[in-house]
Amino acid sequence: MDAPPYARIAAELRGQIERGELRPGQRVPSTREITGRWGVAMATATKVLAALRQDGLVQPVPGVGTVVSDPAAAPGRPVVPARSGPAARGPGAASGGLAPDRIVAAAIQVADTEGLAALSMRRVATELGAAPMSLYRHVTDKDDLVLQMMDAVFAASVLPDPPDGWRPRLEVAGRTFWAMFRAHPWLASAMSLTRPQVLPSALPYTEWVLTALDGLGLDLSTMFTAYLMMINYVRGTAVNLEAEAEAEAASGLSSEEYLETQEPRLESVLPPGAFPMFRQLISNEYDFSLDHIFEFGLQRLLDGLATLISAGPGAQPPRPPIAGVARKAET
C-alpha cells in the first residue's frame, strides 16, 4: 500500500534536511506553505510537521515557526533561528512590542493549524514568546480574541470590482465566502446565524449582496433573507471542513482514502439484489468533493432566487408568523 500523503511529504523534507539543503536553525515550510506547495489539506500539513518533530529533526521556536534542529546542540538548548532577512520573521517575531494585530495573527495561525479547540490565551502567548497575562492588555478574553480573528479574516479578503448582473455578483460573494472558510476551517463553527457577531469588516459583504439584489422587485426584508440564506448555506457546508481536518490528522487518511477502506464493509451490509441504484453508484466510484457539493448547491440556490425574481413582486413568499403571536391567536 502506498504511503499516505503526509508520510511522502515528510520523507521529502527529511531528505532535504539530511542533504543539508535545510540547515539547523532554518525554517522549514509552514503548514500553510505545505498546503500550497503540495496541494494537501491543512491537517495533512500539520501531520507532516508532527512526523518531523517526532523524529527529532525539527522543533518549534516561539515567534519564528518550526526550524531544523541542531544535533550538535546541548539537550534542551533552543536552536537559534537562521534568519536571512525580514521575510524570515513570523507573526510573533519581536517587532516593536506586543501589538493587537500580532496577537490576532498568531491566534489565527494557531486556529488554522490546530483547530479552534486548541486556541487559548496561553497557547497564543507561547507562540509569541510572551507572558499570558501580557495579552490581556490588548484582548479582553478568548471570546474577544476570536471576534477580532473573525474580523481580521474578513478584512484580509478583498471583493473585486462587481461584475454585471445580480447572479454573477452573488456567485462572487458565495465563492469568496467559501474561500475564506476553506482557508480558515475554524471560521464556520465560530460564526453564529442566530446571534450574529458585530464584525465591521463583514459589512461590505452584506452591502455587496443587498446592492446586487436591489431594483429587482424584492423588498429589503426579502433581500436580507436571501443574503442570510446564502451565507448560512456556505457556512453549513463549511462546518465539515474542520471536522474533516481533525479526522484526517487523527487517522492519517484523506476522505477519499477513508471511503476506500469502507467499501468492503458497505458491500457486506447490502442485501443481495437490493438497492440497485445505490449499487450502481458505488460501482462507479462516486468522486466525493466538498468543493463540488458547494458549487452544485450554490447554483441551485441561485436558481431558486432567479425563479423568485422572475415571478415578480407579488410572488414574494409570505413571512411566517412570529411563534408567540401565532400561539396567542390560536387561544
CATH level 3 topology of 1-69:
Arc Repressor Mutant, subunit A (1.10.10)
- Average pLDDT for residues 111-132, to the nearest whole number? 88
Please tell me whether the overall predicted TM-score, pTM, comes out greater than 0.85 for this model: no
pLDDT of residue 34: 87
What DSSP designation does 64 have? T
Phi, psi of 231, rounded to the nearest 5 degrees: -65, -35
Considering only 109-113, 140-144, 232-236, which range has the smallest mean pLDDT?
Answer: 109-113
Q: What is the DSSP letter of 157?
A: S
**Predicted pLDDT of residue 244:** 80
Indicate the DSSP class of residue 248.
H
> Does position 31 have pLDDT exceeding 70, yes or no?
yes
Please give the Cα distance from 114 to 118 (Å, whole number): 6
- Residues above pLDDT 90, as percent of the chain: 37
163-182 residue pLDDT tens: 899 999 999 999 999 999 99
Residue 316 pLDDT grade (very low, low, confident, very high; cuts 50, 70, 90): low
Check: CB of residue 81 under 8 Å from CB of residue 288.
Answer: no
Q: What are the cell numbers at 177?
A: 465566502
Range with the lowest mean pLDDT among 116-125, 207-216, 226-235, 257-266?
257-266
Lowest mean pLDDT among 3-12, 62-71, 104-113, 180-189: 62-71
Please answer whether residues 227 and 177 qualify as being in contact, where contact means their C-beta atoms are separated by less than 8 angstroms: no
Check whether 84 has a pLDDT greater than 70. Answer: no
Under the banding of pLDDT at 50, 70 and 90, the label for residue 63 is very low
- Confidence check: pLDDT of 329 > 60: no
Residue-averaged pLDDT of the chain: 81
pLDDT reported for residue 45: 80
Rounded mean pLDDT of 230-234?
94
Assess whether pLDDT exceeds 70 at residue 104: yes
**Is the pLDDT at 149 greater than 90, yes or no?**
yes
Q: Which residue has the cell 520523507?
A: 11
Q: Where are the domains of the chain?
A: 1-69, 96-156, 160-321
- What's the confidence (pLDDT) of residue 143? 93
Could you tell me the three cell numbers for 159?
Answer: 471583493
Pull the grid cell for residue 17. 534536511
Q: Give how far Cα 67 sits from Cα of 35, 58, 63, 110, 125, Å.
A: 18, 5, 11, 17, 19
**Quick check: 249 and 241 in contact, CB under 8 A?**
no
Residue 57 has pLDDT above 50, yes or no: yes
| Intrachain domains 96-156 and 160-321 with the same fold | no
CATH of domain 96-156: 1.10.10.60
The per-residue pLDDT for 234 is 95
Taking only the tens place, the pLDDT of each residue in 251-307 is 666 676 777 777 788 878 888 888 888 877 777 776 778 888 999 999 999 999 999
Positive or negative: CA dihedral 96, 98, 99, 102? positive
Q: Where would I find the H helices in the chain?
A: 5-18, 31-38, 42-54, 100-114, 121-128, 132-135, 142-156, 166-183, 187-190, 203-213, 220-251, 255-269, 276-283, 290-311, 323-330
Residue 73 has pLDDT above 60, yes or no: no
Phi, psi values for residue 91, rounded to 5°: -65, -20
**C-alpha pair distances (Å), 301 with each of 54, 171, 198, 231, 314:** 46, 10, 26, 11, 20
Question: Which carries the bigger pLDDT value, residue 42 or residue 311?
Answer: 311
C-alpha span between 188 and 232 (Å, rounded): 9
pLDDT at residue 16, rounded to an integer: 92
Q: How far is residue 158's CA from residue 302's CA, in Å, rounded to a whole number?
A: 22
CATH code 1.10.357.10 for 160-321: yes
Decide: 182 and 238 in contact? Cβ < 8 Å. yes
pLDDT for residue 330 is more than 50: no
Residues near 297 by beta carbon (within 8 Å), at least 6 away in sequence: 233, 237
What letter represents residue 214's amino acid?
D
SS3 165: coil
